[in-house]
Structure 1
Amino acid sequence: PKRPYHTDDLISGLKINKKEKAKFARLIQPNGPTHRYWMVFDLDRTDAGMHWDNVGAPAPNLIARNPANGHAHLLYLLQTPVRTAIDGKTAPLRYAAAIEAGLRNRLGADRGYSGLICKNPINSHWIVTQWQADPYTLDELADYV
């Protein structure tokens, strides 16, 4: 987003700034208010970096892993963003939500995670791995659920 939510510490709360400043934060908003570019899953397990492979899920585009405990956010980039604004069509929204729910179940990801902010892959605090360079279509992700 042009003005994403971000923070270095959740206890101090979220801030909103231009992306040029926000991009340095540990945690950042991956999607804006009108479009969904990323599906993000929160895995609170020590083997989160490779768990996707063990359960037969698609390779994430990026994994941002906490060096202290191994917990990670798995990020899947969508080739065509889904419009989430009030004028967005319901069919793509429902299709994306069904795929997200299926992947969340397959991954055993945190059901309470809202996806508003995620570990910022360009912040050096996290261990970041790129597994898949190309973005996914919703149909490609649907093949895994």
Structure 2
Amino acid sequence: MIDTDRTAAVTAVLDSLAEAWSRGDADAYAAHFTEDATYITFVGTRYQGRQDIAGSHRALFAKFLKGTRLAHEVIDVRFLGPDAAVLTSRGDTVKGERPKKLTKVQTYTLVREDGRWLVAAFHNTQRKALMEGISFRFAPETRPKVEQ
């Protein structure tokens, strides 16, 4: 399998996660994670394992996140070997139209198990554009060499 095929397979996981989210299907959403996956939300909550991820999302889809969908764009995919990848994206939960700017930065660590790519670790961070701008203005050397 060449890298473009692996990249497509890895990025397809995000599309499939978004489809399960849109249906409010916590079990289908959690099925994309390894049995022992680590999941960190943008507020800092840590879930451990597929069952914890499914249970928490079942409650979230019934209340706070009911009727939402995921919007995402892939920034980068790096392979750490034939069966491991790190994917960085921007994303957000939305109702209605997709916002012009996605407010979260996400890191997915994926592993291939039995030919299927699964998320072993997920970290979601709320982007603070104002704070970034202040930092870059007063300490320009903190600006990333490549902004995305």
- TM-score > 0.5, shorter chain as reference: no
Question: TM-score when scaled to structure 1?
Answer: 0.26
Structure with the bigger percentage of helix: 2
Greater per-residue strand proportion: 2
The normalised TM-score by structure 2 is 0.26
Q: Which has the larger radius of gyration?
A: 2
Larger RCO (CA within 8 A; separation ≥ 6): 1
